[in-house]
Amino acid sequence: MIKSIGSYFFPDLCSELVAGANVQPVTGDEVLDWESTSDDPQFSLGGVSLSGGWYMLELQLVHAAPSADARLYFDFGEGFSEEDSVFLPVKCNRVTKRLVYLPKRAKSIRFDPMESKGGFGVKHFRLVKLLTAFAMDRLIQRLVNMHDAFRDVSKTEAKRRVKLEAKSVGKPFLALALKYYNQTFERRRQTVDYQHWIDNQEASLFANARKAACGEEDWSPLVSVVVPTYNAKVRFLEECIDSVLAQSYQNWELCIADDCSTNPEVKECLSRYVEKDSRIKVAFREVNGHISSASNSALELVSGEFVALLDHDDVLSEEALSCVVGVLQENRNLKLIYSDEDKIDESGMRFEPHFKPDWNPDLLLSQNYICHLTVLARELVADVGGFRVGFEGSQDHDLLLRCVPHLDVSTVARIPLVLYHWRAMSGSTALEAQSKSYTSEAGVNAIQSYLDLNRIGGKVEFGKVPNTYRIRREIPEEEPLVSLLVPTRDGVDILKPCVNAILERTSYENFELLILDNQTTCAATLEYLADVVKDPRVSVHRWNHPFNYSAINNYGAELANGSIIGLINNDIEPINNDWLTEMVSQVVRPEIGCVGAKLYYPDDSIQHAGVILGIGGVAGHSHKYFNRHDFGYFSRLHLVQGLSAVTAACLLVRKPVFDAVNGLDEENLSVSFNDVDFCLKVREAGYQNLWTPYAELYHHESVSRGADDTIAKRQRAAAEARFMRDKWGHTLDQDPAYSPNLTLVHEDFSLA
C-alpha cells in the first residue's frame, strides 16, 4: 500500500526504512543497529510517497565519526539522480534539520545515511509538511545567517537581492533561492576540499595581495633568507633553493650554513648555486655543531633588514617574500611577520593547511603555532642573541619566546596566505610529531626559560598532544575570593546536582556561591534552597522580575563580595577538582579579561571550547559536538589560547573589569549573545580574553530557560542577533583568533 504525506507528517519514518544496497541489520546492539558495508549504503522508504510542496526534514543519526553526510533522493518518475536529491551534514546524535522543496509528487524515496563504512543507527527521521510562507521565511533567514553573500542584510533585503539576480540571469526566483540555500549545507572531505581551495581560491587571494601592494614600492628592504643544512637530500635542497630563486620579489639574499655535512654531494650542490647567483652566500662549517650553531653561522652572513627562516628541504611560495614586503610597506614598525603554511610530500602534493590566528601569545606558550613562515627584524634577532645552543629541536620556538617581550599587536603581522610548504617525510616532525620526542623536551625547556626570565610564576609540563605544553601558573599566596553567581528558577533536579558538585568537587577553597532565585514556585526547589544555605559558602538572593539573564547577573555582581566574579549556569557540573584553581590562575593575570572553560554535553561531546565570532551570523562555539578526546584543529581543543569570546555558562572575570564595562547589557540582550557582547566590551577595554581546556565541566545546555522553540522566543533571538550585527558589524566577521580562510557556516574549522 502506498503511504502518502500530504497535509500531515509521519511522526517517525524510521519504521518505514527498508534496507537496500550495502546495508545490513546488526543484532545485539541497541544503538548501532545497522552496518554500512561500503561508502554507498542505501534505504528505500517502504512505499512512502510525497505530494509536492515544502517539508522540514528532521534527522538524527548515531555513528562513529563526529559527522556524516546524508542524502535523500526523490524519484519523480524518471528514477533517482543527484539532481533530485537533498544533502544534509549531520552531527553524531544531534537532530539536524533542513528544508526540502518538491516541485511535484515524489513516487518513491531513497535515503543514504552516510558515505562510509561502519555501524550506525537512525534515531529520528521525519518529514513535516510546511506552509509556503513559513518555509520561505526560514529559507531567507538561513541565507542571512549562514551565507556569505547575504551577511549584514535584513531578510527583506536578502529576498530583494535574490529576486533582482534571478531576473538579471533569467532564472526563477525559487530556483536561485534554493541554490543559495543548498550552498549553506555544502561540506567536502578535507583533502578534496583543500585541493579545491587551491584550485579555486588561492590564485585570487594572491592576486588581491599583489593589487594591495601596488604603488607602495618606494621601499624595498633586503630580506635575508637563512637556511641551516646538514646532509640534506640533494633533490629537496635544490627544490628549496630554487623556490628562493623563483621569488617574484627580487631584493633578497640566501644565507646558507652547512653544518659539516658528510655527504660530498651537498657541498657540490651548494657550490654550484653560489656560482649561479651572487645573492647566494654559503658558510661551510668545519665542525658539526647542530642546528642552533649552524643557524647562527648563517645569521653571520646576513646583511638584510629582515631575516626569513627556511628549513633545508622546505619550499617557499613564489609570492612569499613579495607578500612579506607588502605588509612591511604598510607598517614599517613590524618586527615579526608570519604566514599560513601547509605540508608537502615527497611527490609535491600539498596537504594539511594550517590557517592561523592573529598574534596570540598564550597560544604561542601552548605550541609554536607561528612555525613557518617566520620573518623577524634583524635588529630584534641580534638583540635577543640569535639561536641558543641547548634548545635544539625547539630553537625557533625559543627564539620567538625571547622576542615576545619586545613585541605587541602593533609590531606583529599575520599574512593569511600559504607562503610556506613544510616537507613531510617519514621520520620528519612535519609528518610525525612523536618521531622527534626531543623537540617536546626542548619546548618545555624553552617555555620554562621564558617564564623564569620574565619572572612569571609557573611550571611547564608536556601537553596532551606531542609538541604542545601546559603551564601550571601560580596564584597569589592570599587566594582571592571568588563569587560564583548561579541564576535559577525551579528545577531542583538540575540545580541540586550543580550546586552539590561545585561544593564537593572544587579544591579551590576561597569562594562564595550566590544562588540568584528568579521567581521559584516549586516547593521542592524552595525546600532545597532553604536547606543549602546551611553551608556558609552559600547564600540565596531573590530576583522577583521576568527572566533576564543579563539583569540577574548584574544584580548578583552588585551583591558579590569577591574580587573575582564567576558567571555559572545552574546546569553546570565540574569534572576535575582543580577547575576553579586553573581559572583563577589565569584570571588574576593583569592582562587577562574573561576566562572560559571546556564544557561537555552529558554524552562527552564538546559543547563549548571557546566562541568564534561570525559563525552563523553572530558567533558559534568552537568544535561543537567533537568528541571529548579529539585534538581539534591543530590540537586547539587541548591548548590554552586567547579568544575573542567565551560563554558565560562558566566564565570568570575580575570584578573591576566587570564594573568598568558596565556588566552585561540587560536592555538589549536579555537572553542570547550577552556573553559575546560582554567579552567584546572587555576586549575593547584592552584586555585579552582566554580559554583553558584544563577547567572541564558538564553543561546541560539551556535546561533552566528552555530552548528557543516558540514564536516569541524565536523573535526575541532574532532581534538580539540583529542588535549584535548592528552594534559590532564587521568585527563579527574578522575574529583575530580565527582565520578568514576558515568557514563562518560550520563550527568545525573547515575551509571557507
Q: What span, in angstroms and rounded, lies between the C-alpha atoms of 610 and 624?
A: 9
Contact 387, 309 (CB under 8 A): no
Q: Which three cell numbers stand for residue 730?
A: 564587521
> What is the helix (H) or strand (E) element at residue 165, kind and residue range?
helix 155-169
Of 22-31, 215-224, 651-660, highest mean pLDDT: 651-660
Q: Is the peptide bond before 516 cis (omega within 30 degrees of 0)?
A: no
Contact 74, 126 (CB under 8 A): no
**CB-based burial, 274-284: b 16+ in 10 Å, e otherwise:** eeeeebbbbbe
Q: What span, in angstroms and rounded, lies between the C-alpha atoms of 472 and 455?
A: 14
- How far are the Cα atoms of 98, 178, 429, 507 from residue 90, in angstroms, in the given order? 11, 19, 34, 39
Q: Which three cell numbers stand for residue 300?
A: 653571520
> What is the helix (H) or strand (E) element at residue 332, kind and residue range?
none
Look at strands 280-284 and 252-258 and give their pairing. parallel
Put simply, whether the predicted model's pTM sits higher than 0.85 gets the answer: no
Question: Does residue 10 have a pLDDT over 70?
Answer: no
Q: Which three cell numbers stand for residue 523?
A: 516547593
Q: What span, in angstroms and rounded, lies between the C-alpha atoms of 337 and 374?
A: 6
Burial grade of 188 (CB within 10 A; 0-12, 13-18, 19 or more): middle
Per the document, the length of the chain is: 752
Residue 479: partners with Cβ closer than 8 Å, 6 or more residues away? 508, 509, 510, 584
* Residue in the block written with cell 558515505: 115
Lowest mean pLDDT among 7-16, 72-81, 125-134, 218-227: 7-16
* Strand intervals (E) in 143-284: 223-229, 252-258, 280-284
Taking only the tens place, the pLDDT of each residue in 557-598 is: 999 999 999 999 999 999 999 999 999 999 999 999 999 999
Q: How confident is the model at residue 152 (pLDDT cuts 50, 70, 90)?
A: low
Taking only the tens place, the pLDDT of each residue in 356-402 is: 999 999 999 999 999 999 999 999 999 999 999 999 999 999 999 99
- How far are the Cα atoms of 138, 336, 461, 710 from residue 145, in angstroms, in the given order? 10, 36, 41, 19
Instruction: State phi, psi for 527 to the nearest 5 degrees.
Output: -65, -40
> What is the helix (H) or strand (E) element at residue 449, kind and residue range?
helix 437-453
Identify the pLDDT of residue 388.
Answer: 97
Look at strands 85-91 and 67-75 and give their pairing. antiparallel
Identify the pLDDT of residue 429.
Answer: 56
Identify the pLDDT of residue 714.
Answer: 78
Q: Which three cell numbers stand for residue 346?
A: 615527497
Identify the pLDDT of residue 100.
Answer: 95
Taking only the tens place, the pLDDT of each residue in 732-747 is: 999 999 999 998 888 9
Contact 314, 240 (CB under 8 A): yes
Residue 156: partners with Cβ closer than 8 Å, 6 or more residues away? none
* Strand intervals (E) in 628-722: 641-642, 650-654, 688-699
Instruction: Give Cα 226 to chain centroid, integer Å.
Output: 32
DSSP per-residue codes, 13-69: -GGGEEE-TTEEE-SS-SS--EEE-SS---EEETTEEE-SEEEEEEEEEEESSSEEE
Lowest mean pLDDT among 69-78, 235-244, 404-413, 641-650: 69-78
Contact 677, 724 (CB under 8 A): yes
Q: What span, in angstroms and rounded, lies between the C-alpha atoms of 562 and 228?
A: 54
Give the domains, in start order, of the chain with CATH numbers: 3-130 (2.60.120.260), 216-431 (3.90.550.10), 482-733 (3.90.550.10)
Q: How confident is the model at residue 201 (pLDDT cuts 50, 70, 90)?
A: confident
* Residue in the block written with cell 526540502: 100
Q: What span, in angstroms and rounded, lies between the C-alpha atoms of 712 and 699?
A: 25
Tell me which residue of 353, 64, 432 sits closest to 191, measured CA to CA.
353
